[in-house]
A and B are shown apart, each in its own frame.
Chain A
Amino acid sequence: MAEDKKKKVIVPIGPYHPLLEEPEFFALYCDGEKVVDVDWQAGYNHRAIEKLSEAKHWDQVTFLVERICGICSTSHPFAYCNAVEDLLGASVPERARYIRCIIGELERIHSHLLWVGLAGHFLGYNTVFMWAWKYREPVLDMFEIITGNRNHYAMFKIGGVRRNIEEEDMPALRRVLKGLKVQLEMLTHAVLDDPVLGARLKGVGVLTKEHIKNFGAVGPVARASGIGGDIRKDDPYAAYPMLDFKVITAEHGDVFDKAVVRLLEMFESIKIIEQSLDAIEGKGGDIQTEIRDIPPGEGIGRHEAPRGECFHYIKSDGTNRPVRHKIRAPSYTNIPTFKASCIGQMIPDVAIILAGVDPCYCCTERVAVYDAGNKKKQMYDFSRLVEMSRQKTEKIKKEI
């Protein structure tokens, strides 16, 4: 393969390319318009969040992880708070749990709408782009009513949420939600019944169940291939056990089914939000519990982010800072599926397949080491990092 690859033309997608909003690099090895191999390079924008997190105290980390990603900015605080509460064994007041679900589901709607719009844009269908983003506006308005911000809501804190949903806001929220449902129905029909969109998306970038299992893909990508993994059902947290909703799956695993899953999931999210509003309306109650100290120990937290399972691990030594904070965002397992879905396809298909997993590179960023001496870029693998860590420990031991 290596010999073969050298003869092919490399069509670059990235590091700066209109297909992808973030800097990363896909090298498409092409034979004519056919893509025979794909290479991926990340590491253009690594921010060392995990390391930063070790230098902040527990409450600050909530806001730090919110800034990992601009689109799913509540997923990370959600998973982080779950992790810390897992360590504490603390229980969160019921009202706070419902509010958390409302924020999480609103975010899912806005993220999926954003994806539908972008997918339309990548296909040159700018009408879908503009319509989807127009319908996303009321969702952002709801965020503004509830949290005061359209993005980066700063709602989460360890032990609860920071702001209550006021009783007088309820009618406005319900009204917006009702209008949104009508608009979403129209958009869903417009997208799914369009024959030309069908011709472009059906049978493109198929991921079988086997592929999903091998790559460990999660979220809508897995559900589009018929694997119904959903943390909200599999490992219930917050108010999800008390809510009635379906996990949407599809059969074929192509880009069209990924769109189907995302579009239909938005209706489930609306259902969840309506139920949550019903549950908290007129009930009152605390929205947070007081947390004083974080004892030594470990905790994990998971959240079904719009793109799949978001995982946080934290370790405490009893001080006011985490000693270790490990984050795994869903795109980390979703993006490499291009190895299965892109090869053998044509360039325009590859463009939409790459966008079809709804990749989020800022969550997925890893370090790449650039050796200026021999001009080589390399990724450090696990064994190399372990070795380096051991060397450093030896060095510290000697110094002591």
Chain B
Amino acid sequence: MNAVHVLLYFIMSLAAFSVCGMMAMWVDRKVTARLQFRVGPPWYQNFADFAKLAGKETLIPGKASIFMFVFAPVIAVTAAAMCGAVLLLVFRTGFGFPGDVILLLYLLTVPSLAIILGGSSSGNVLASVGISREMKLLLGYELPFACALIIPAVRSGATTSLVEILRFQQANGITLGSISGVIGFLIAVFALQGKIGLVPFDLAEAEGELAGGAFIEYSGILLGLFKLAKAILLIVGPLFVVTLYFGGINFSSVTGVIAGILKYLLILVLFVLVKNTNPRLRIDQALKFYWGWMTLFGIIGILLAVKGL
């Protein structure tokens, strides 16, 4: 693979994950609407929204630091799509390297950092409250999320390679089939909920009190890119968990792909259920939740995984 191949591959996976992400978002919106006695949008709604935002005027506030303000959404989308590209590579070709779990952990953090950068460069008070929350939340969910990554890594014989973890699951059954696996899976789902910024962890946006928080000054295509990054995260995050806990997706057969989609939908449904049955938490409550119960269970999970349970 030369540089052009790599670039083409990245662009293709960006396009593929954008489309899949927006469809996933539509599933979220549709199910939410049905839960709330509404009809819900048609399947192409998110594409229409993105096209509309792309056609709108992009306002850059006078106080903003223009470079950071414009590049933050681009960074967010790039990082999110990069996660997707790495995962796709693992699924399709079995290509991996030791430590790609840690790489993905880093890449998944970047969109949150981009939101913080963009929000802080916009020079708005509400955005600054939003990013301060995003920062605290980032510190909050990273700890349990790391625990959730350590559990399958420990179970698969202390490896940080996705391919090795997948191979171990093919040989010995999926990680979710064990007690530590169940604990780790739930922790990962809750941590991702915070990463993607869904209720009850949407404190950084908090439309009811901060009117969009970090995104308040964003408009036009830049806002569209942030939404796109969230859409890609909505598919990449769960896929990562599917890889670690569900034995990944087998692209070589149709049944394998369908099974993969079902695995993904299971996690998405969990997201939607939690989102629609909870109010937004306060930042101190969210931190207590992540650093208290979630981390405690995470450590218990790791100990169980070490014991081989």
A residues at B contact (CB < 8 Å): 9-13, 17-19, 30, 32-33, 120-131, 134, 194, 196-197, 199-200, 346-349, 351
Judged by a CB distance under 8 angstroms, whether B42 is at the interface is: no
Name the contact of A348 in the complex, choosing from B32, B126, B206, B278 (C-beta under 8 A): B206
Task: Please judge, given known A-B contacts A12-B125, A127-B36, A348-B209, whether A33 and B132 are in contact too, CB under 8 Å.
Answer: yes
Partner of A33 from B277, B279, B283 at Cβ < 8 Å: B283
Q: B237 — which chain A residues lie within 8 A by C-beta?
A: none
Asked whether A122 lies within 8 Å of B38 as measured between CB atoms, the reply is no
What B residues does A32 contact at CB under 8 A?
Answer: 132
What is the distance, in angstroms, from A170's C-beta to the closest C-beta of chain B?
Answer: 28
Cα(A253)–Cα(B193), bound, Å: 33
For A19, the chain B residues whose CB sits under 8 A away are 208-209, 211
Cα A9 to Cα B32 in complex, Å, equals 37
Bound complex: CA A346 to CA B35 (Å): 31
Are B132 and A124 closer than 8 Å at their CB atoms?
no
- Chain B nearest CB from A36 CB (Å) reads 14
- Having A130-B36, A347-B210, A348-B206, one finds 6 other A-B pairs with CB under 8 Å, namely A19-B209, A124-B207, A129-B36, A200-B282, A346-B282, A348-B203
State the interface size on chain B (CB cutoff 8 A). 31
> Of B128, B132, B208, B276, which one neighbours A123 at CB under 8 angstroms?
B208
B199 within 8 A of A: yes
Nearest residue in A to B35 (C-beta to C-beta)?
A127
Q: Is B182 an interface residue (CB 8 A)?
A: no
* Residues of chain A with a CB closer than 8 A to B283's CB: 33, 346, 348
Selected A-B contacts with CB under 8 Å, 21 pairs: A11-B126, A13-B209, A32-B132, A121-B208, A124-B199, A124-B202, A124-B279, A125-B280, A126-B199, A126-B276, A128-B279, A130-B37, A130-B38, A131-B36, A131-B37, A199-B281, A199-B285, A347-B129, A347-B209, A348-B283, A349-B282
Contact with A along B101-139 (1 / 0, CB 8 A): 000000000000000000000000110110011000000
Report the bound CA distance from A131 to B36 in whole Å. 6
Considering only residues 23-77 of chain B, those with a C-beta below 8 Å from chain A are 32, 35-38
Q: Are A134 and B37 in contact (CB under 8 A)?
A: yes
Does residue B200 face the partner (Cβ distance < 8 Å to A)?
yes
Do A11 and B125 touch (CB < 8 A)?
yes
Q: Which of B74-112 contact A (CB under 8 A)?
A: none
A192 shortest CB reach to chain B, Å: 13
In angstroms, Cα B102 to Cα A92, docked, is: 79
User: Which A residues are in CB contact (< 8 Å) with B210?
Assistant: 347
Given contacts A10-B125, A11-B126, contact A200 B208 (CB under 8 A): no
Residues of chain A within 8 A (CB-CB) of B38 are: 130
CB-nearest residue of chain B relative to A10? B125
- Contact partner of B281 (CB less than 8 A), chosen from A17, A130, A134, A196, is A196
User: Which 5 A-B pairs rank lowest in CB-CB distance, beginning with the nearest?
Assistant: A124-B280, A130-B36, A351-B209, A123-B279, A125-B279
Given A347-B209, A348-B203, A126-B36 contact (CB < 8 Å) = yes
Known: A33-B129, A131-B36. A196 touches B279 (CB 8 A): yes
Q: How far apart are B156's CB and chain A's nearest CB, in angstroms?
A: 35
* Complex interface: chain A residues within 8 A of B132 (CB): 32-33
Q: Please name the residue on chain A nearest to B201 by beta carbon.
A: A124
Q: Which residues of B contact A33 (CB under 8 A)?
A: 129, 132-133, 283
Closest to B126 in A: A11
Residues of chain A within 8 A of B32, CB atoms compared:
126
Alpha-carbon distance between A200 and B278 when the two chains are bound, in angstroms? 10
Q: Give which listed residue, A129, A134, A196, contacts B200 with CB less than 8 A.
A: A196
- Of A12, A127, A134, A348, the residue contacting B277 (CB under 8 A) is A127
Q: Which B residue's beta carbon lies closest to that of A199?
A: B285
A11 to B208, CA, bound (A): 14
A11-B279 in contact (CB<8A): no
The chain B residue sitting closest to A355, CB to CB, is B208
Residues of chain A within 8 A of B206, CB atoms compared: 124, 348
User: Which residues of B lie under 8 Å from residue A126 when comparing CB positions?
Assistant: 32, 36, 199, 276
**Which of A11, A121, A349 is within 8 Å of B129, CB to CB?**
A11
Please, which residues of chain B bring their CB within 8 A of the CB of A121?
A: 208
Q: Which residues of A lie under 8 Å from residue B211 when comparing CB positions?
A: 17-19
Shortest CB distance B254–A (Å): 36
Task: Give the complex CA separation of A121 and B38 in angstroms.
Answer: 15
- Docked complex Cα distance between A18 and B216 (Å): 12
User: For the complex, what is the distance from the CA of A218 to the CA of B302, rounded to whole Å?
Assistant: 55
> A21 to nearest B CB, angstroms?
12
**Assembly CA distance A266 to B124 (angstroms):** 42
Which residue of chain B has the shortest Cβ distance to A348 in the bound complex? B282
Given the complex, which residues of A lie within 8 Å of B125, measured CB to CB?
A: 9-12
B21 shortest CB reach to chain A, Å: 21
Q: How far is the CA of A123 from the CA of B209 in the complex (A)?
A: 9
**Which of A18, A32, A348 is packed against the most chain B CB atoms within 10 Å?**
A348
Alpha-carbon distance A19/B211, docked complex (angstroms): 8
Q: With A and B bound together, what is the CA distance between A18 and B126 in angstroms?
A: 13
With A122-B209, A123-B208, A130-B37 in contact, do A200 and B281 touch (Cβ < 8 Å)?
yes
Instruction: Give Cα A130 to B208, complex, Å.
Output: 15
Q: Which residues of the other chain, A, contact B202 by a CB distance below 8 angstroms?
A: 124
Task: Give the chain B neighbours of A18 by CB distance below 8 A.
Answer: 207-208, 211
C-alpha spacing A351/B211, complex, angstroms: 11
Are A127 and B203 interface neighbours, CB within 8 A?
A: no
Which chain B residue has the least Cβ–Cβ distance from A121? B208
Which residues of the partner chain B approach A200 to less than 8 Å between Cβ atoms? Answer: 279-282, 285
Partner of A122, one of B208, B277, B278: B208
Measured CB to CB, the closest approach of chain A to B286, in angstroms, equals 10
- Assuming A11-B126, A126-B36, A130-B36, is B282 touching A351 (CB within 8 A)? no
**Cα–Cα, bound, A120→B277 (Å):** 11
Residues of B within 8 A of A128 (CB): 279
Contact present for A127 and B282 (CB under 8 Å) = no
What separation, in Å, do the CA atoms of A12 and B208 have in the docked complex?
Answer: 13
Find out whether the CB atom of A127 lies under 8 angstroms from the CB atom of B208.
no
Chain A hits for B285, CB < 8 A: 199-200
The distance in angstroms between the C-alpha atoms of A295 and B131, with both chains bound, is 64
Give the distance to chain A from B112, nearest Cβ to Cβ, in Å.
19
**Shortest Cβ distance from residue B46 to the other chain A in the assembled complex, whole angstroms:** 18
